[in-house]
Structure 1
Amino acid sequence: MEEPTPPKVRDLDARSLRGLAHPLRMRLLDALRFDGPATASQLAEKLDESSGATSYHLRQLAAHGFVEDDPERGKGRERWWRAVYRGLSVDSALLHDEDPEVRGAADFYMHEVATSQMRNMSTWLGNRGSWAPEWSQVADMSSDTLRLTPELAEELIEKMHALVAEYRDLAVTRNDPRAERVRVHTHAFPISSD
């Protein structure tokens, strides 16, 4: 059964960013966002952590509103968690905040996101032989270099996000049994012209 996608994107502020900017918390949140509800013990096994650590950090994520109890699953003492949001958004102003702690949390968060995305790609490359050949034929790892102004870069990013959103639940609504979860990363950043 396909898990319902959490409905919205959360805009991170300085307080919530400080609550999230921890490697295990980010991995826990990603596991719940991408793989669906789970218990602290299940997450501990999946992430090779202790259940004490996952329990503590799940409670911290809950205190900051990132995760919540999943009442449809918990029976007795078993506590299930689910993600509240399908995505997160960081205001670039946090990267330039006057508080060095906020800047540090924003910088850490961005580096962890980049590391996670590269880990996704490396995992795909390492496991692609276990997938049907049609998936290897359509997987994409491309890049291009454009000459853009900040305004054109912003326009391009908005169009890419809108296009991805169009495809979000298409396969589910078409009820196609061949549908798989497909991770899409977008990156747009300036590079030196040296």
Structure 2
Amino acid sequence: MADDKTPAPDATAPDSLVRTPLRAERSMDVQTMKAFAHPLRMAMYSRLTDVGSATATALAQHLQESTGQTSYHLRQLEKLGLVEEDTSRGSGRERWWKPLGYRMHVEELGQDAANLRVMTSVLHEGLRRRMEAISAYLDVAPREPREWVDASVDTTTTMTMTLEQTRALSEELMEVIARHREALGSSGNSPAEEAESRRVRLYLSLFPLVEGEDAATP
């Protein structure tokens, strides 16, 4: 999840849903996608979404890399428009960086076979990290405070819907998320409330099921 003012990464939003709240305006083109599809850059971006913002030194320590490497790749991510300096953090001695949301038009980026392989790699890396995050939570859930477990949700619902119904559900869900994010940005939490806060993540997937001969093989 990106910072409060920036939409979270949205890898598959079609043009018809661009105006939906939280749909990132920044579209990833082919060159940006290829430059982003670097293992360390993707790992650094993922870590930034985990913690909100971090320094090159903190990223290097977490990923067991040199500060020179993380500093270089942060500058490249900045050039790509995928991170920016977090001016609300730091003392001026070292820059803090935060992630920026992006969109991937899969119907455009996947037209060329070479691009399709890169796009698939990026999307599957995101899926792998998603599964890791969910698995990590499930491992510790029995030891988590009961109130946090009760506030969490892990559910799957399958329905038969028309395109219009699916679009309406998607837009309404995004509007709910946007409303809560906006409330967080203007809540002015007290120090006590800040101490009780934790980074949380919401995964929301809504897509048509692919079966039988319609299933595509990368």
TM-superposed deviation, 1:145: 1.0
For residues 131-170 of structure 1, the C-alpha deviation after alignment (integer angstroms, 9 at most, x for no partner) is: 3210111211100111123443233222211111111143
Question: Alpha carbon RMSD of aligned pairs, Å?
Answer: 2.7
Q: 1:175 aligns with which of 178, 189, 196?
A: 189
Equivalent residue, structure 2, for 1:124: 137
Q: Tell me the TM-score normalised to structure 1 length.
A: 0.80
Equivalent residue, structure 1, for 2:36: 20
* Counterpart check, 1:31 vs 2:30: no
Equivalent residue, structure 1, for 2:155: 142
| Residues 75 and 49 of structure 1, relative CA distance in 2, 3 Å threshold | same
Q: Percent identity?
A: 30
Q: Secondary structure at the match of 1:88?
A: coil
Q: Secondary structure at the match of 1:11?
A: coil
The 1-side partners of 2:53 and 2:33 are apart by: 22
Within 5 Å, which residues of 2 pair with 1:34-49? 34-49=50-65
Deviates most, 104-113 or 7-16: 7-16
Identify which of structures 1 and 2 has the higher relative contact order when contacts are C-alpha pairs closer than 8 Å and 6+ apart: 2
Equivalent residue, structure 1, for 2:4: 5
The count of residues paired between Structure 1 and Structure 2 equals 188
Within 5 Å, which residues of 2 pair with 1:34-183? 34-70=50-86, 73=90, 75=92, 78=94, 80-83=95-98, 85=100, 87-97=101-111, 99-171=112-184, 173=187, 175=189, 177=193, 178-183=196-201
Q: Secondary structure at the match of 2:153?
A: coil
The 2-side partners of 1:181 and 1:53 are apart by: 26
Deviates most, 115-124 or 175-184: 175-184
The 1-side partners of 2:5 and 2:97 are apart by: 9
Q: Tell me the TM-score normalised to structure 2 length.
A: 0.72
